[in-house]
Amino acid sequence: MRHQLELFFTALGFFTRIPVPAWVPYSAERLNHAARYFPLVGWVVAAAGAGSYAVFARMLPASLAVLLSMAVTIRLTGAFHEDGWADAWDGLGGGWEPAQVLAIMKDSRIGSYGTVALVLLLLAKAAALIELAAHGNAMVVSALCVAHPLSRFASTTLIRTLNYVRDDADARAKPLAHRLRRGELGIAAVFGLAPLLLLPFGTALSVTVLAALVTLWAARYFVRRIGGYTGDCLGAVQQGSELVCYLGILVS
């Protein structure tokens, strides 16, 4: 039990800025096995986003409450996945050969493709959540509680199914390069899919199908363009899946 708790805290420390206990050891091998708890980290982020939205919505218009709750989750994660989204679009939009795509992704400077993609993403997420707020604050809370874990499960599936293509020794996501075992993916699936119980069956099915379609399309595209995935690709899939979760709830 203690080992599992250590793995969860390893995942929490890697994907958020939440301090973890000093007694939690870190190693690349532990981080690889901690991938089973990435969707559970999504529960923590969702709780922060939903809780802050509920507080802000009592004092402010829904639009401002949505924007502030988004700011809370971005601050909590250090814009980790948003950065991956922007870097992935910079590389895939500006590069032709796999080596060129990977080089652009690694560049810490953001380019035009990444800037446009990031702005549109944030605007789309904010607009979708504001529209959901028109149906009641509970809709926003449910959407956040579903989208954050499910989108992290979607990106976790790439670790199981694709090859990691960046061989830089200092690549931050390199410890995640080892494929998950089936049992580990099963644990991730439990935490990623369980929040769907908050939604009506038809809505939950629509959201799951949309997230799966985005993930499958992205996986095929990554393989075609660079032969596999990088850490930025994981962030891109998480962000894209999160957005379609909101859209799926909105149109259901």
Residue 15 lies in a domain: no
Alpha-carbon span 188 to 124, nearest angstrom? 27
- CB under 8 Å to 213, separation ≥6 — which residues? 244
- CB under 8 Å to 13, separation ≥6 — which residues? 19, 20, 24, 26
Domain hosting 231: range is 38-251
Tell me how far the alpha carbon of residue 81 is from its chain's centroid.
Answer: 6
Q: What is the pTM of this model?
A: 0.93
What token pair was written down for 5? 């708790």
Residue 23 lies in a domain: no
Residue 179 lies in a domain: yes
**Which pLDDT score, from 0 to 100, does residue 63 have?**
97
Alpha-carbon span 250 to 247, nearest angstrom? 5
Residue 19 lies in a domain: no
**Which pLDDT score, from 0 to 100, does residue 92 have?**
95
Residue 238 lies in a domain: yes
**Which pLDDT score, from 0 to 100, does residue 32 have?**
82
Per-residue pLDDT of the chain (252 residues; tens, 9 = 90+): 888 999 999 999 999 999 998 888 887 778 888 999 999 999 999 999 999 999 999 999 999 999 999 999 999 999 999 999 999 999 999 999 999 999 999 998 999 999 999 999 999 999 999 999 999 999 999 999 999 999 999 999 999 899 999 776 555 555 555 678 889 999 999 999 999 999 999 999 999 999 999 999 999 999 999 999 999 999 999 999 999 999 999 998
Residue 49 lies in a domain: yes
Alpha-carbon span 203 to 190, nearest angstrom? 18
Residue 130 lies in a domain: yes
**Which pLDDT score, from 0 to 100, does residue 1 have?**
81
Residue 118 lies in a domain: yes
Neighbours of 119 (CB within 10 A): 11
**Which pLDDT score, from 0 to 100, does residue 177 have?**
53
Tally of domains within the chain: 1
- CB under 8 Å to 85, separation ≥6 — which residues? 114, 117, 118, 121, 232, 235, 236, 239, 240
**Which pLDDT score, from 0 to 100, does residue 215 have?**
98
